[in-house]
Amino acid sequence: MDSHIAPVALDKAYRLINHGPTILVSARHRGVSNVMAAAWACALDFKPPKLTVVLDKIARTRELVESSGRFVIQIPTVAQAQLTYDVGSRSLHDDADKLAHCGVELFEMPGPGHDLPFVQGCAGWLACRLISEPHNQQTYDLFIAEVVGAWADTRVFHDGHWEFENADASRRSIHYVAGGQFYAIGDVVPVRAEEPAD
């Protein structure tokens, strides 16, 4: 495992996707692994941490998620923009060697229950357990999951906060617009923060 990867407290896990990045979704079932890109993911709850993600019916990754009940959400970086576009544009249905052709390197996070396909080189990772909601999944392609593990690259996330402004620009998160165009997350804009009311 990369020495820059560190666990994120589960009560801070929502911060890994709260800024609306394009994500990578990976899953494995019966020896088949796949990775796809998705733009519609959202933090849903704090305790226990939950999230939502939209997975289209045509996606092979969706089949793996539904069959295994587990998946990983990753936050790709500027350095992975082409990889992200490629895994979002190709289907495992059509290309049995999709991951190799897209340059995806997988690894497993140490620890029990994390034998999932994690994508190497991302800025953050969320291991998820599917909360089965067949109506939402079938009607809206909307999947709900509990986050059971979270990790981040300490060069861009530590003490519960992103710090992209202090890292190499290639490690910033990406945000898909359309037509093969991404934006990298911009500069920090600090404001005066008041203490939350009790």
Q: pLDDT per residue over 82-91, tens digit each?
A: 999 999 999 8
| Per-domain boundaries in the chain | 5-184
Please provide residue 64's backbone torsions phi and psi, each rounded to the nearest 5 degrees. Answer: -65, -40
Superfamily grouping for domain 5-184: Electron Transport, Fmn-binding Protein; Chain A (2.30.110.10)
Name the percent of the chain in helix, strand, coil, to the closest 5.
25, 35, 40
Q: Which pLDDT value is given to residue 157?
A: 96
Please provide residue 125's backbone torsions phi and psi, each rounded to the nearest 5 degrees. Answer: -145, 140
**This prediction's pTM:** 0.93
For tokens 């092979």, the residue is: 60
The pLDDT-based confidence of 111 (bands split at 50, 70, 90) is confident
Token representation of residue 192: 């005066």
CA atoms within 13 A on the CB side of 19: 22
The CA distances from residue 128 to 23, 25, 143, 153, 196, in Å, are 14, 10, 11, 18, 29
The pLDDT-based confidence of 193 (bands split at 50, 70, 90) is confident
The pLDDT-based confidence of 197 (bands split at 50, 70, 90) is low
77 vs 93, more confident: 77
Q: Which pLDDT value is given to residue 1?
A: 58
- Per-residue pLDDT for 113 more than 90? no
- Residues 64 and 32: beta-carbon distance below 8 Å: yes
